[in-house]
Amino acid sequence: MNKLYQTLTLPNGSVVKNRFFKSAMSVAFGTIDHRPTTKLITLYESWAEGGVGLSVTGNVMIDRRALGEPGNVVVEDERDLEMLAKWAKAGTKNNTALWMQINHPGKQAPKMVTKEPVAPSAIPLSGSLKKLFNPPRELNHLEIKDLITRFGKTAKIAKAAGFTGVQIHAAHGYLISQFLSPYHNKRNDDWGGSLQNRMRFVLEVYNEMRTQVGADFPIGIKLNSADFQRGGFTEEESMEVVQTLAESKIDLIEISGGNYEKPAMIGPEKESTKKREAYFLAYAEKVRKLIDTPLVVTGGFRTVSGMNEAIDSGSVDMVGIARPFALMPDLPNQIFKGTYEPVSLDRISTGVSWIDRNAPMLETSWYAHQLERIGRGLSPKQNLSAWSTLVHFFTQQGIHAFQKRRA
């Protein structure tokens, strides 16, 4: 337990009070016109008071024309600076670091919210996803430059509002991930082809952010270890990108993997993962031999011993936790007090097979329902029924309730 409560000094000198990292989770608490709400204030205040060291927000979008789901918060100017400041003030209580995760969905923008998605290349999503997403239009050079500027501007506004850092979302098949992948990026200009060209977009996004926020403001990134997709972004390429980012003095790298077509980040656990608890820990061990930049892996951590072992191994510097925070907002405090017990839940199910088959995101929505309860000032409810979640989300979003939700 002592290792989990050690401070962590980032490359820019910023200090995180402990090694608990609340990874981003989709909350979709924005208004109909994509502005922040009091639910966000209540939710992130709960996590700050619960003892987490670094809390990362759910996706904040850079462009109102490109949304990932209803309820996304969009920050493209200072119109909501006052509300953002209230969010930041609540989320940084108790000396908590609060980072805004900044993203663009690219072609992973459902047709219900984005009529004409954009992407590095005009390649539609495959398989059953075709019916949920419109085919994308290829970005031109000027549009790419505009998006880079938008990433930087959103980071600057986050700093002005009082967030203590930002995280670039370059994983899970969203726009930056699409640029990195040779499967999704078929361009033959300076933005495609070789890995050096394909990583140009993420490097320019990072450099633009650094220009707008300065050297002392933390910038992290969430990056795929691989896409797990034939012809996609490989582990070897990922390690080369990681080394380049480390040389650029990025402050923290969170490792993940997969995309909507190959969703490793929400798939079943391998037996080796269950034994070691953490997803992507083997990848982190390889990367640790290449760089000194602080690393975090998210997913799978359940026991205090598993968390301690990950830190003790030196492979990672923080333990990334997501869903358990939806059930125990004060998880770090519980561990500190010695009252923590891992939650073991059965598969979320209505008991009606055809409903479960046709609501593939039911489990994700069940956790989102828990987050909404916290955002309304209520306690999580571990025995919350799947039927309650069904009714809740159909009431809110109708037939779109269980389409792909962002991770």
Residue 120 pLDDT greater than 90, yes or no = yes
Please report which confidence band the pLDDT of residue 398 belongs to, taking 50, 70 and 90 as the band edges.
low
Least confident of 45-54, 89-98, 133-142, 376-385: 376-385
Query: Considering Cα of 218, then 219, then 222, then 224, what sign does the dihedral take?
Result: negative
Question: Which spans in 199-265 are helix H?
Answer: 200-213, 235-247
Residue the block writes with tokens 């994983």? 171
Please report which confidence band the pLDDT of residue 54 belongs to, taking 50, 70 and 90 as the band edges.
very high
Q: What is the mean pLDDT of residues 316-336?
A: 96
The reported pLDDT for the residue numbered 274 is 47
Residue 366 pLDDT greater than 90, yes or no = no
If DSSP codes are grouped into helix, strand and coil, which group holds residue 399? helix
Q: What is the mean pLDDT of residues 121-134?
A: 87
Both tokens of 393, joined, read: 């989300």
Query: Does pTM surpass 0.95?
Result: no
Q: How far, in Å, CA of 355 to CA of 390, rounded?
A: 10
Residue 199 pLDDT greater than 70, yes or no = yes
CA angle, 177 then 357 then 350, to 5°:
115
Q: In this structure, how many other beta carbons lie within 10 angstroms of the beta carbon of residue 134? A: 17
Residue 322 phi/psi, 5° resolution? -125, -85
Q: Tens digit of pLDDT for each residue in 230-251?
A: 788 999 999 999 999 999 999 9
The reported pLDDT for the residue numbered 364 is 81
Q: Over the range 150-187, which residues count as b (16 or more CB within 10 Å of their CB) and which as e?
A: bbbbbbbbbbebbbbbbbbbbbbbbbbbbbbbbbbbeb
Q: What is the mean pLDDT of residues 314-343?
A: 95
The reported pLDDT for the residue numbered 392 is 75
Please report which confidence band the pLDDT of residue 395 belongs to, taking 50, 70 and 90 as the band edges.
confident
Please report which confidence band the pLDDT of residue 264 belongs to, taking 50, 70 and 90 as the band edges.
low
The reported pLDDT for the residue numbered 103 is 98
Q: Which residue has better confidence, 279 or 277?
A: 279
Query: How much of the chain is helix, strand and coil, in % rounded to 5?
Result: 40, 15, 45
Mean pLDDT, the chain, rounded, equals 90
Enumerate domains of the chain plus CATH numbers: 3-343 (3.20.20.70)
Residue 405 pLDDT greater than 90, yes or no = no
